[in-house]
Amino acid sequence: MASKALISLSILLLIHSCYSAHEHSLLTPTTTSLPLDVTIETLVSVVLLCFGIVLSNREELKPISWTVWSGVLEREKGCGQFGYLDERVGFLEIRAKRAEFAKWIKGAGEGSSSQKT
């Protein structure tokens, strides 16, 4: 309940600071920096808003533990966090693939010449 009130108050402060900044830009034709009170009000409202959001999600936040996460991953998927490294394709033997390709090309070339005659 307190977090909702804090969020509401900070949103009101943020709206007021935005309105004050807009009003200041309309009233002063030259480009000057914002007054100190508007800047402080904006910063305070943003900090309060962040604090209110964290307080409202306090029940959902849980501590992060790498070992627990890794254990759950191993139980559910059967592999650890680096399991994708075992499933990747290894290095190809380029010379063998090149020889296989040349053999295939020769076979396709001979087949096409025999069809023409």
Contact between residue 39 and residue 14 where contact means Cβ atoms under 8 Å apart:
no
Do 6 and 56 belong to one domain? yes
**Is residue 90 domain-shared with residue 102, that is, in the same domain?**
yes
pLDDT at 111: 62
Q: What is the pLDDT of residue 76?
A: 81
Q: How far from 105 is each of 93, 100, 101, 108, CA to CA, in Å?
A: 19, 9, 6, 5
Same domain, 54 and 14: yes
> Do residue 79 and residue 94 come from a single domain?
yes
50, 75: one domain: no
Ordered per-residue pLDDT tens for the chain, 117 residues: 788 999 999 999 999 999 999 999 888 878 788 899 999 999 999 999 999 998 888 776 666 787 887 788 788 877 767 766 666 666 667 888 899 999 999 988 776 555 544
pLDDT of residue 47: 96
The region, left, alpha or beta by phi > 0 then psi within -120 to 50, assigned to residue 39 is alpha
Other Cβ atoms less than 10 A from the Cβ of 79: the count is 13
